[in-house]
């Protein structure tokens, strides 16, 4: 009789241990974000399919860096700018970003950095024209469509320049970048 009591206690302990293990296994399944989908067809057959659900989709933060890379096909230049994202882009998911900016290509998306690229058939804003007007050297900036806007009337006199410089200025000197523009100005001033 004693042996039967021990056997019954062991059986009950085994039952509760099994129930405990099964309960913990079910909790771990929920933690792994699995959802069981049961699909019933018209023929009343049942199929089970497991689908992974991402419950923690990555989002932008106020510290996310936004890098914009723009390629200008007419001049062949890339202009890249980087800054912290604007406040209206905070908490964006990748899909929200793509839908909000459909004309840009998403190169990278993480909470640390977003890189967007775009190609345009125009000139970048880093082009300048140096020429002569009214006896002085003038500098124009060229916009994306190639239209010129007066940037600076210099005090550099055209009349005192060598003949080769005068011929070049009469045709206009097209310059890319502010560093190159400053170098040309310095050359004419000396």
Q: List, for residues 117-175, the tens digit of each pLDDT value.
A: 999 888 788 899 999 999 999 999 988 777 889 999 998 888 888 898 889 999 999 99
**pLDDT number for residue 58:** 92
How many C-beta atoms surround the C-beta of residue 163 within 10 A?
A: 7
Which of 22-31, 39-48, 156-165, 174-183 has the lowest average pLDDT?
A: 39-48
Terminal CA-CA length for the chain: 117
* Strand runs labelled E in the chain: 34-40, 46-52, 65-72, 77-84, 105-109, 113-120, 127-133, 136-142, 148-157, 173-176
List alpha helices for 32-156, DSSP H: 94-100
Distance, in Å, from the CA atom of 69 to the CA atom of 95, rounded to the nearest integer, reads: 20
Cα separations in angstroms, 100 against 54, 55, 184: 22, 22, 42
Of 91, 88, 114, 119, nearest to 103 by C-alpha is 119
């Amino acid at each position: 009789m004693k042996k039967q009591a021990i056997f019954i206690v062991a059986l009950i302990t085994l039952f509760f241990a099994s129930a405990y293990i099964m309960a913990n296994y079910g909790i771990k399944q929920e933690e792994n974000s699995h959802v069981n989908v049961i699909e019933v067809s018209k023929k009343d057959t049942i199929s089970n399919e497991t689908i992974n659900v991402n419950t923690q989709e990555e989002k932008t933060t106020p510290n996310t860096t936004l890098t914009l890379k723009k390629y200008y096909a007419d001049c062949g230049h890339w202009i890249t700018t980087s800054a912290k994202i604007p406040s209206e882009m905070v908490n964006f998911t990748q899909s929200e970003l793509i839908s909000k900016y459909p004309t840009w290509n998403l190169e990278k998306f993480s909470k640390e950095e977003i890189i967007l690229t775009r190609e345009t058939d125009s000139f970048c804003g880093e082009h300048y024209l140096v020429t002569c007007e009214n006896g002085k050297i003038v500098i124009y900036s060229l916009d994306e469509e190639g239209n010129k806007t007066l940037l600076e009337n210099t005090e550099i006199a055209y009349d005192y320049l060598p003949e080769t410089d005068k011929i070049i200025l009469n045709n206009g000197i097209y310059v890319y970048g502010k560093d190159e523009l400053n170098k040309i100005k310095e050359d004419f001033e000396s």
